[in-house]
Chains A and B, each alone.
Chain A
């Protein structure tokens, strides 16, 4: 029998296994599921940005025909044993519970107060109108300065700032102050020949996933609960829902539907606990979906920020001291990504003296949620824009300034880790060599360059592989596929087992069908779930070799597994492929499977360099991105099309945040632009092709050298675009977004 040599497929670009369903409309997303007897849930939301809840009267609503159940905070658990360690962060369950359904107070316009289940969507909405809530309106706090004012209204009477030298005696809206530093700043600035300080602001931006949150929950009479929802982490949905409602997690089975975008915004829960509570009360399956308006008003965007950066350098551009004050809006509950911002703001640079002071500030706006490298894009905007301004002042090429100061392997970071096996140098070299860097520019056109960094996550993943009759492999993994990871898992499994890519059938299994998995996020799936998949395949291979040895009556040490086939090193007539081994299972020890489970405690950081060309119309302030090049270290690109896709998608989110996207609130804290018309995300006609360069500096701790790529792409674009626009217009605008009115006003101001 001739054995076909396996040609390695990692690094190739085959079509994804779920692709046909997605181009034909057959794929089912969060709102595409139904069950017999299903009823509709709807949420009553606060009309005030800040108010005490004096009472909720649901009697009129309950009496309406077709209304089957109503829930308020009274239906949620009162106390929690410990913070739920779900996903990548320990979540404060008191805060999460109150965000899902307000308890003593409403803290933002749109804050959920009650939920109803009724036989039609129309009846559910009418029932909401019949619920009477008695509010005592309170003054709202709507920006950083208002929140930090000594006389500011306090959102949480129990909030005493953490991280100050002495615990304060009075509550405030400053949830915490975090300081990270290395070296001696005073000495550093004393040695500097030039010192530059600037303040940069970013508005809140939403992740902008096109699919609103949606779920279907069905509670059985025996206490078993099924949830179908679009989420980045169905195990986290299980954990949070169980804790919030006081249910045993093992009684809840969550199926992650296909998901229409997440970017961090679908790593928490909003509707699922409500749908489950309504289903338990009504005895019917309950379907809920958010309107686009609710998505904007009541789900978490990325933080608005004000960051002041002060840099000291020698005249030759060598950076000596870097200091930042980072003020982040957390929204209504503590937990902005100020800490992550502090970890990333100066990490690309080897300046020996660094300090980042990060403030987590609550305001009467929706509680922020993770948004792709949370905290880092705002931080990179500040540092990279300032470095470009410094380069201009010193007469140094901005890319040369990066070369002169780029961090290298072995340089300690401000947060205590020492970077190793990084690819920043390689990314800078790729930028310098790229034709974009030396292409000519015309009038009213400018170029900007910026560096991005994210440290990435590892965490827990499980995978199983099963040998199916006919010799194909069923691969079960448990991290929702938001970017094509199913294909990457199949590629890694194919190369590990030595079989064709199309022989692998990957699926994202529900919480009852695969071992625990942390969320899809943190750029961890190709890295950690990929690792678990490889382990599962290796486990299967061990069983396959043992099985073949038993068939031949030989010592397993003689059996090799190569090109999808078991062979005997001492007898070339002994050859068994997967199909034959599957067929023999029923007459031997039974079915063949492999398991893999990992908890990767550390992960490989990813650096990027972006180059942007922007043209400005000096008469209107309108701008256009003419050219964009995204260069990033991927370690090893398992499926290059999907790696390129991450670079391109993240770049465009950053472009949108730089040029047009912002949350605009009125004086009462009501969001003025809760829709895609006025929350202006980039469309196809706004953009050029996004050129990409994948640098590969393999991460030695992964079987294929993978490092995460999903988040770093959003870190550098804002500074690259802002620097380019300012160069094109001759302005120095430091506040995002650079929308036409702001740009025009700066052009006119310079006279």
Chain B
């Protein structure tokens, strides 16, 4: 019996039907057409479906679609402000930190979750914050550099506007 869910996704009201055992990832990809979050393992081990649920980092494959009732979800599609990229996205491009790119939506979300709570992480902190996001192409080097650079840029512009 399908469940009727009211949620807020990327700042917009979202209303959908889902099966009781459908994951939030299934709902995003197959019902709502938001394919930016990826299915790499469906068991919470790869992080490519990372989303922010009421501001907390979770794997969408480990959340039921029905659990989105009354809650706010941020996916990769909601990170940029229109055509204005978030500094994390911009720095990943500048550092040429992506190769195939499949892990990048999850990495952007996970890194955003880190910088939202800690604007000055060191390299080790960044590495542990991203330990739940598997990347097989890059060896993580340029990704870490891009996140540290984005953090510095965000601190500078926060300082400039202080």
Which of A136-144, A376-384, A450-458, A642-650 contacts its partner? Answer: A642-650
> Lowest 4 CB-CB distances: which A-B pairs, in order?
A25-B36, A260-B102, A22-B101, A641-B96
A24 in contact with B79 (CB, 8 Å): yes
Contact B43 A292, beta carbon cutoff 8 Å: yes
Question: Contact mask A678-692 → B, CB, 8 Å, 1/0?
Answer: 000111110101100
Q: What are some 22 contacts across the A-B interface (CB < 8 A)?
A: A22-B101, A23-B104, A24-B85, A25-B35, A208-B136, A210-B38, A210-B40, A210-B136, A262-B100, A291-B42, A292-B42, A292-B46, A642-B99, A645-B142, A648-B139, A649-B137, A652-B139, A676-B40, A681-B134, A683-B132, A683-B140, A689-B145
- CB A348 to nearest CB in B, in angstroms, measures 23
Judge whether A432 is part of the interface by a CB distance below 8 angstroms: no
Instruction: Return B37 CB to nearest CB of chain A, in Å.
Output: 7
Which of the 9-residue segments A11-19, A93-101, A410-418 touches chain B? A11-19
Against A, the Cβ 8 Å flags (1 = close, 0 = not) of B59-84 are: 00000000000000001110110000
With A24-B76, A25-B37, A676-B46 in contact, is A683–B99 under 8 Å at CB?
no
Q: Per-position contact with A for B27-49: 1 when CB-CB < 8 Å, else 0?
A: 00100011111111111011010
Q: What distance in Å separates the Cβ of B18 from its nearest Cβ neighbour in chain A?
A: 12
Decide yes or no: A645 and B100 within 8 Å by CB, A29-B38, A675-B41 being known contacts. Answer: no
Q: Scoring A residues 690 to 716 as 1 if CB is less than 8 Å from chain B, else 0, what string do you get?
A: 100000000000000000000000000
In the complex, besides A23-B85, A258-B102, A684-B130, 6 extra interface pairs with C-beta distance below 8 angstroms are A19-B92, A25-B34, A207-B136, A676-B45, A683-B131, A687-B140
B141-A648 in contact (CB<8A): yes
Shortest C-beta distance, A615 to chain B (Å), equals 15
Q: A651: CB under 8 A from chain B?
A: yes
The answer for the CA separation of A41 and B34 in the assembled complex, in Å, is 21
- A-side interface size class: 35 or more
- Looking at the assembled complex, report how far the CB atom of A24 sits from the nearest CB atom of chain B, in whole angstroms: 5
A25 and B96 in contact, given A210-B46, A211-B38, A684-B143 (Cβ under 8 angstroms): no
Interface set, chain B 18-32, CB cutoff 8 A to A: 19, 29
Given contacts A22-B98, A24-B85, are A685 and B39 in contact (CB under 8 A)?
no
A482 at the interface (CB under 8 A from B): yes
A303 sits at the interface (CB 8 A): no
The residues of B that contact A25 with a CB separation of less than 8 Å are 34-37, 75-77, 105
Q: Is the CB of A648 within 8 A of B138?
A: yes
What residues on B are CB-neighbors of A483 within 8 Å? 99-100, 137
Residues in A neighbouring B33, C-beta threshold 8 A: 34
The yes or no answer to B2 lying at the interface (CB within 8 A) is no
Which of A16, A24, A675 sits near B96, CB closer than 8 Å?
A16
> Is A261 a contact partner of B100 (Cβ separation < 8 A)?
yes
A685 touches B131 (CB 8 A): yes
In the complex, residue of chain A having the shortest beta-carbon distance to the beta carbon of B39: A31
**By the criterion CB–CB under 8 Å, are A210 and B96 in contact?**
no
Report Cα–Cα, A715/B130, bound state, in Å.
27
Cα separation A27 to B140 with both chains bound (whole Å)? 21
* Docked complex Cα distance between A687 and B135 (Å): 12
Chain A residues with CB below 8 A from B80, complex form:
24
The complex places the Cα of A683 from the Cα of B72 at a distance, in Å, of 29
**CA A484 – CA B145 in complex, angstroms?**
18
**Shortest Cβ gap from B84 to chain A (Å):** 11
Q: Is A735 an interface residue (CB 8 A)?
A: no
Minimum CB distance partner of A287 in chain B: B30
The yes or no answer to A26 lying at the interface (CB within 8 A) is yes
User: Which residues on the B side are within 8 Å of A27 (C-beta)?
Assistant: 101
Question: A211 is contacted by which of B93, B100, B133 (Cβ under 8 Å)?
Answer: B100
Chain B interface size band reads 35 or more
What CA separation (Å) do A687 and B141 show in the bound complex? 9
A121 CB to nearest chain B CB (Å): 8
B144 interface residue, CB < 8 Å from A?
yes
Contact mask for chain A residues 454-484; partner B; CB cutoff 8 A; 1 contact, 0 none: 0000000000000000000000000000111
- CB of B95 within 8 A of chain A? yes
Q: How far is the CB of B40 from chain A (nearest CB, A)?
A: 4
CA distance A32 to B25 in the complex (A): 13
* A484, B92: Cα distance in complex, Å: 13
Is B94 an interface residue when CB atoms closer than 8 A count as contact?
A: yes
Q: How far apart are the CA atoms of A648 and B95 in the complex, in Å? A: 14
Say whether A212 faces chain B, with CB atoms less than 8 Å apart: yes
Given contacts A210-B103, A211-B100, contact A649 B46 (CB under 8 A): no
* Shortest Cβ gap from A261 to chain B (Å): 5
Distance in Å: Cβ of A622 to nearest Cβ of chain B: 15
Q: Is the interface of A mostly helix, strand, loop or mixed?
A: loop
Say yes or no: B101 contacts A15, CB within 8 Å: no
Interface hub of A24, A208, A649 (most chain B Cβ within 10 A): A24
Closest to A639 in B: B96
Segment 185-220 of A: residues with Cβ below 8 Å from B: 207-212
A711: min CB distance to chain B, Å = 14
Cβ–Cβ < 8 Å partners of A685 in chain B:
124, 127-128, 130-131
Contact yes or no, A684 B131, CB < 8 A: yes
From A23, A24, A675, A684, B133 is in contact (CB under 8 Å) with A684
- Pick from A208, A261, A677 the residue with the most CB of B within 10 Å: A261
Query: With A676-B45, A685-B128 as given contacts, are A690 and B98 in contact (CB-CB < 8 Å)?
Result: no
In the complex the two chains form, is A649's CB within 8 Å of B128's CB?
Answer: no
Instruction: Let me know if B135 and A210 touch, CB within 8 A.
Output: yes
A212 with B39: CB separation less than 8 A: yes
Decide yes or no: A210 and B93 within 8 Å by CB, A25-B36, A25-B37, A27-B101 being known contacts: no
Judge if B108 is at the interface, Cβ distance under 8 Å.
Answer: yes
A736 within 8 A of B: no
- Assess whether A392 is interfacial by the CB under 8 Å rule: no
Cα A689 to Cα B135 in complex, Å, equals 14
Among A27, A208, A260, A681, max chain B CB count under 10 A is at A260
Q: How far is the CB of B83 from chain A (nearest CB, A)?
A: 9
B100 engages A258 (CB within 8 Å)? yes
When distances are taken between beta carbons in the complex, the residues of chain A under 8 Å from B100 are 209-211, 258-262, 482-483
| Minimum C-beta distance from B95 to chain A (A) | 7
In this assembly, does A239 line the interface, its C-beta being within 8 Å of a C-beta of chain B? no
Q: Which residues of A contact B39 (CB under 8 A)?
A: 31, 212, 289
Give Cα A690–Cα B138 distance, bound, in whole angstroms.
Answer: 10
B89 is an interface residue with CB less than 8 A from chain A? yes
Question: In the assembled complex, how far is the CB of residue A694 from the closest CB belonging to chain B, in whole angstroms?
Answer: 14
The residues in B between 108 and 162 inclusive whose CB is less than 8 angstroms from any CB of A are 108, 123-124, 126-128, 130-145
- Please give me the residue from chain B that is nearest to A650 by CB atom: B139
Chain A residue with Cβ nearest B124: A685
Which one of B127, B135, B139 has the greatest number of beta carbons of chain A within 10 Å? B139
One of B75, B99, B132, B141 near A689 (C-beta < 8 A): B141
Which residues from chain B contact A652 at a C-beta distance below 8 Å?
138-140
Query: Which residues of chain A are within 8 angstroms of B34 by Cβ–Cβ distance?
Result: 25
Q: Chain B nearest CB: distance from A520 CB in Å?
A: 11
